[in-house]
């Protein structure tokens, strides 16, 4: 039996993405507490988080509970059998005999795929190291779709484009929508060449900019990411870069009046607090969209195995 | 829109306190599992505990679940995004788009008030450092009301009266009820002068006693608190003090036969175990009263925003 | 009032064990998600785990949730009032005024019995150090009953038979069923003499074997346990032992075709991964049986106090 795992959006067709986002939109009134829904009544979701991720964990929990389902949580790895040397395969085999679906977060790339080989219930990848985090990508797309536009989009990706798993996955997904992609990052943290090449092969226009200011001028969306201090051996260099790569009121003066600023959060110092009050600020809405998107993913994951639930 | 935050009892009128305690009394049969109630069905409470507090956490969870609601828990801060440097404001902004109310415990005074500025759902303060812990104060008052009497009460406050946030808040609340307050503490840990002055200005009779024995003689309630070893640089001094400030069977011989002994728990060595079996012991009942009181607070917090639920 | 605590299986009669296992069998379709059951609707189970045990915790949670009940979790001890020096007695007294039943795991032998002296609700022992872990024993028996046979069973116990609480409890329970017990362990980790004597006094045939290979020849079940590296001061000795005490495809060639291999999990290296795919492998099914068995235990614990729920 084939299970509806959600491991990566990389090989998703535009049609597949659109159908998830459409379903997510239907769940928005439930996420906003305007409507009740018990579609997952009787189902149990198990959270296996092998590294901390408060926001992702809480939003999966919220999505599951608001659809009438229940949640069991492995807890932190410090307090789990993992400490006794159990393999991920064994943990997954056992837990999949308890729960109806598993949300897995793991520091090792490929962990979710491996887990899917041993699980008897759908695995939802909630981040596997440098690998994938498909529900983040989907909620980013959903935010763009709901707050800006997906077709004909011009988006600036800014900050750490080298290590940022989030922006990599987003790039590939956006290639279905003929987006124009502007890049703004410190020289140490540019988008890897192989990704740029992939995007160009898919017919996407990718442009590198020297400054954030130049990049955002014609953008519909500015997608900001966190630059980690640890990437810079020299603190002075970090300070310089983090100053240049910052969303300020001044920066917003020269952008489109309806440009939306997104950020996967947590943010540290990348966005001036004053920006929060402008209509550009879209990152808290983006975090909220994690709920309806994860509702859609949970329902799609569990519907093939347990019959049409919608 | 004004939200029904519960940040402090300090500015509560007697009428406000009485209405919460009356509601709490109505919920007692539910807390005692004699009655069922689903008044908070469909609501989600989020627990944000930035420092550990087992009892408070478990009693909020119990109160919410027994009213038909659901709970999501951030978990311990070691495993949360806080580690990535996220501000409390951002955490609260995001979580308030997930849940219907937030219970916040935080080591910094003023944290709950600050959170209320950013939250779109009611904040319930479950302790903010040296600041407030309103549901503790309310359950203390409820215990006195149910097991002794609030009007015309004589109460002895004993132990650490200097750092004990619990007794400070209780003092202010009792000033609505013309209580007579007896104080018994080691000289190092006396009630701060500004609080004594405040109480006197409100017409409350406050009396300092040299010994616990003299203080309790005419008391209806003895409110005992924990003296922390760390407050005393000299271990010998601590041992002396903790011996004098101890509730023993002998001490109880000279008090009113219906005097109640209260303690916010956890206790360490302040109460002789033999006292547990006497009718004076009221601290476990007091812990239980946390359930109906928190039920009342949860229902009041969520009713303005979501319509009259009662 | 007598409460239905579940502290140990040691003094259980065969009739008592059989009635729990029969009830567990009735709950199997619920555990398999083929049937719904809300028998524990309105009940709250509290988890007090003073040491980590992911599998036990998650299976109790799953059992409770699938029967319509709810769960509150103390969380890890690092984040609990225990750190403030509270006694187990006080914690249990308070929590038993919140919840309808308590699952307790504690590193100290006798902790569950002690807790039962102070609790006003049923205590379920989920392991107390070198003491008992009755639901593990019951799920082991249930697995044998469902996948092999209890009456006339020949079972090989292998691995660490000295410190393994699990095998000790299983031995005593099997003595009700006229089992023949084969022992295979390194000389450092043999079954204690007093247990062997107890078993012989109950008319059980116990045989020691030099090698695992000889022990399993006529066995219906091979019960494998983990040998902890820390038991051996000399790493070379550990390596030798762990190689000899290993379930391999080769070993299985000379056993009964329907012999079942059991293991309480987590396993580390005691079972060759290739064994997983053989019909002998029974350890994941065994972990699953923890759900229906714990369902039965939860229902039996709560039925006397709260009226006949079945």
Mean pLDDT of chain A: 92
Structure tokens at C148: 């092999």
Q: Given a cut of 90, is residue A299 above it in pLDDT?
A: yes
Closest CA to C267 of C209, C214, C222, C200: C222
User: What pTM did the predictor assign?
Assistant: 0.95
Between β-strands B180-184 and B154-158, what pairing exists: parallel, antiparallel or unpaired? parallel
In angstroms, the CA B282 to CA B223 distance is: 10
Question: Do A255 and A192 sit in the same domain of this protein?
Answer: yes
Q: What is the pLDDT of residue B133?
A: 95
- Could you give phi then psi for residue A22, rounded to 5 degrees? -65, -40
The model's pLDDT over B77-117, given as tens digits with 9 standing for 90+, comes to: 665 555 567 899 999 999 999 999 999 999 999 999 999 99
Does residue A256 fall inside a structural domain? yes
Instruction: Measure the CA–CA gap between A188 and A229, rounded to whole angstroms.
Output: 12
Q: What are phi and psi of B17, to 5 degrees?
A: -60, -50
> Among A139-143, B275-279, C52-56, C218-222, where is mean pLDDT lowest?
C52-56
- pLDDT band, very low/low/confident/very high, at B231 (cuts 50, 70, 90): confident
What percent of chain B stands above pLDDT 90?
A: 80
| Shared-domain flag, residues A86 and A179 | no
pLDDT band at residue A305 using 50, 70 and 90 as cut-offs: low
Closest chain B residue by Cα to residue C90: B266
Residue B271: pLDDT band (50, 70, 90) is: very high
Distances (CA, A) of A170 to A233, B171, C154: 28, 57, 59
Contact by Cβ (8 Å): B6, B297: yes
Span between the terminal Cα atoms of chain C, in Å: 20
Q: State the nearest Cα–Cα gap between B292 and chain C, in angstroms.
A: 10
Look over chain C and give the mean of its residue pLDDT values, rounded to a whole number: 92
Report the Cα A287 to chain-centroid distance in Å.
10
Q: How far apart are CA A199 and CA A259, in angstroms?
A: 23
- Mean pLDDT within C84-100: 91
Taken in order B1, B6, B10, B14, the sign of the CA dihedral is positive
What is d(CA B37, CA A92) in angstroms, rounded to the nearest whole number?
37
**Dihedrals φ, ψ of A266, to 5°?**
-70, 145
Please report the number of interchain residue pairs, chain A to chain C, with beta-carbon separation below 8 angstroms: 66
Number of domains in chain B: 2
CA angle B2, B8, B10 (to 5 degrees): 115
**Mean local confidence (pLDDT), C205-209:** 97
User: B122 and B24 in one domain?
Assistant: yes
- Residue C255 CA to residue C215 CA, distance in Å, equals 9
Model pLDDT for residues C243-253, shown as the tens digit of each residue: 889 999 999 99
Q: Are residues B268 and B168 in the same domain?
A: yes
| Residue B14 DSSP symbol | H
Instruction: Identify the closest residue of chain B to A75 by CA–CA distance.
Output: B75
Parent domain of C169: 135-287
Let me know whether B147 and B81 are in one domain.
no
pLDDT digits (tens, 9 = 90+) for B284-299: 999 999 999 999 999 9
Q: Do the Cβ atoms of A94 and C33 come within 8 Å?
A: no
More confident residue, B78 or C52: C52
Q: Is a pLDDT exceeding 70 seen at residue C1?
A: no
Asked if residue B60 and residue B188 are part of one domain, the reply reads: no
Please determine, for residue A307, whether its predicted confidence score (pLDDT) is greater than 90. no
Let me know: does B122 contact B301? Beta carbons within 8 Å: yes
Report the pLDDT value the prediction gives residue A310, as an integer from 0 to 100.
41
Q: Per-residue pLDDT averaged across C92-103, rounded?
A: 97
Which of B67, B266, B277, B287 to mutate against chain C (most C CBs within 10 Å)? B266
Check whether residue B85 and residue B165 sit in a common domain. Answer: no
Across the interface, do B288 and C93 touch by the CB < 8 Å criterion?
no
Q: Can you name the residues that pair with A156 across neighbouring β-strands?
A: A182, A222
Q: What percent of chain C has pLDDT over 70?
A: 95
Is residue B223 domain-resident?
Answer: yes
User: What is the C-alpha separation between B45 and B70, in angstroms, rounded?
Assistant: 6
Nearest to C97 among B49, B54, B284 (CB): B284
**B279 contacts B256 by C-beta, under 8 angstroms:** no
Which pLDDT value is given to residue B306? Answer: 47
Q: Is the pLDDT score of B62 beyond 90?
A: yes
From the list B44, B79, B95, the residue facing A66 with the nearest CB is B44
B84/A287 touch (CB, cutoff 8 Å), yes or no: no
Inspect the interface and report whether the beta carbons of A62 and B100 lie closer than 8 Å: no
DSSP state of C152: T
Provide, as residue numbers in chain A, all residues whose Cβ is less than 8 Å from the Cβ of C55: 81, 94
Q: Do C62 and A93 touch (CB under 8 A)?
A: no
| Shortest CA distance from A90: residue in chain C | C266
Among left, alpha and beta (phi > 0; psi -120 to 50; other), residue C264 is alpha
C4 lies in a domain? no
A149 located within any domain: yes
The CATH code of the domain that includes A20 is 3.40.50.1370
CB contact under 8 A, C90 and B291: no
Is it true that the peptide bond before C20 is cis, omega within 30 degrees of 0?
A: no
CB contact under 8 A, B76 and C74: no
Model pLDDT for residues C209-243, shown as the tens digit of each residue: 999 999 999 999 999 999 988 888 888 988 888 88
The catalytic residue positions of B are 55-56, 84, 105, 133
- Taking alpha carbons only, the member of C232, C79, C62 closest to residue C162 is C232
How many Å apart are CA A83 and CA A77, to the nearest integer? Answer: 7
CA gap C141, C55 in Å, rounded: 18
Which residues from B are below 8 Å from A76, CB to CB?
75-76, 78-79
Residues B255 and B169 in one domain: yes
Q: Is residue B1 part of a domain?
A: no
Contacts of B6 (CB under 8 A, 6+ apart): B122, B123, B124, B125, B134, B135, B297, B300, B301
Q: B-side interface with C, Cβ within 8 Å?
A: 33, 36, 49, 52-55, 57-59, 61-62, 65-66, 75-76, 226, 265-268, 284, 287-288, 291
Tens-digit pLDDT profile for residues A167-219: 999 999 999 999 999 999 999 999 999 999 999 999 999 999 999 999 999 99
Sorting pLDDT into bands at 50, 70 and 90, what band is B230? Answer: confident
What residues contact C31, with CB distance under 8 A and at least 6 apart? C62, C63, C66, C288, C291, C292, C295
Residue keyed to tokens 């307790």? C104
Confidence of residue B26 (pLDDT cuts 50, 70, 90): very high
Give yes or no for residue B308 having a pLDDT over 60: no
Tokens of C201: 């006094």
Q: Over 90: is that where the pLDDT of B204 sits?
A: yes
A281 shares a domain with A173: yes
Mutate to test the interface with C, among B30, B54, B79, B268 (most CBs of C within 10 A): B54
Residue B76 has pLDDT above 90, yes or no: no
pLDDT reading at C83 higher than 60: no
- Residues in chain B closer than 8 A to A267 (CB atoms): 86, 90
Is residue C310 predicted with pLDDT exceeding 60?
no
- Domain for residue C264, yes or no? yes
Q: Are residues B58 and B85 in the same domain?
A: yes
pLDDT in tens, A50-93: 988 888 999 999 999 999 999 999 887 665 555 567 899 999 99
How is residue C273 annotated by DSSP?
G
Question: In terms of residues, how long is chain C?
Answer: 310
Residues C242 and C157 in one domain: yes
- Does some domain include residue A187? yes
Question: Which value, in Å, is the radius of gyration of the alpha carbons in chain A?
Answer: 20
Kindly state whether residue C78 falls inside one of the protein's structural domains: yes
Shortest alpha-carbon distance between residue B205 and chain C (Å) = 34
Distance, CA of C206 to CA of C208 (rounded, Å)? 7
From the list B33, B75, B266, the residue facing C86 with the nearest CB is B266
At a CB cut-off of 8 Å and minimum separation 6, what does C226 contact? C159, C160, C263, C264, C266, C267, C268, C270
pLDDT in tens, A270-291: 999 999 999 999 999 999 999 9
Q: Which of A85-89, A180-184, B63-67, C279-283 has the lowest mean pLDDT?
A: A85-89
Is the same domain home to C166 and C76?
no
Residues 6+ apart with CB under 8 A from C34: none
Query: For the stretch A214-241, what's the b/e string if a residue is b when 16 or more beta carbons lie within 10 angstroms of its beta carbon?
Result: ebbeebbbbbbbbbeeeebeeeeebeeb
Measured CA distances, C123 to B223, B233, C8, C99 (Å): 31, 41, 11, 11
Chain C contact partners (≥3 CB pairs within 8 A): A, B
């Amino acid at each position: 039996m084939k299970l509806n795992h959600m491991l990566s959006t990389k090989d998703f067709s535009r049609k597949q993405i659109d159908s998830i986002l459409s379903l997510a939109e239907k769940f928005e009134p439930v996420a906003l507490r305007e409507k009740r829904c018990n579609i997952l009544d009787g189902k149990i979701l198990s959270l296996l988080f092998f590294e901390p991720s408060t926001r992702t964990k809480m939003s999966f929990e919220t999505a599951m509970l608001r659809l009438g389902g229940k949640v069991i949580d492995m807890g932190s790895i410090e307090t789990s059998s993992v400490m006794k040397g159990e393999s991920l395969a064994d943990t997954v085999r056992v837990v999949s005999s308890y729960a109806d679906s598993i949300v897995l977060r793991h520091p090792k790339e490929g962990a979710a795929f491996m887990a899917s080989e041993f699980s008897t219930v759908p695995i939802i990848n909630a981040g596997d190291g440098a690998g994938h985090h498909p529900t983040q990508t989907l909620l980013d797309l959903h935010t763009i779709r709901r707050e800006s536009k997906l077709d004909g989009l011009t988006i600036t990706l800014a900050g750490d484009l080298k290590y940022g798993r989030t922006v990599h996955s987003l790039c590939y997904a956006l290639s279905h929508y003929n987006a124009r992609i502007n890049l703004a990052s410190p020289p140490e943290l540019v988008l890897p060449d192989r990704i740029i090449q992939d995007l160009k092969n898919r017919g996407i226009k990718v442009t590198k900019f020297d400054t954030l200011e130049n990049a955002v001028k014609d953008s519909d969306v500015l997608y900001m990411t966190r630059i980690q201090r640890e990437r810079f051996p020299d603190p002075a260099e970090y300070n310089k870069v983090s100053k240049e790569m910052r969303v300020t009121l001044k920066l917003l003066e020269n952008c489109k009046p309806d440009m939306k600023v997104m950020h996967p959060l947590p943010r540290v110092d990348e966005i001036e607090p004053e920006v929060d009050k402008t209509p550009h600020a879209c990152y808290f809405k983006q975090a909220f969209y994690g709920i309806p998107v994860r509702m859609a993913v949970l329902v799609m994951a569990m519907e093939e195995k347990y019959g049409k639930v919608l």
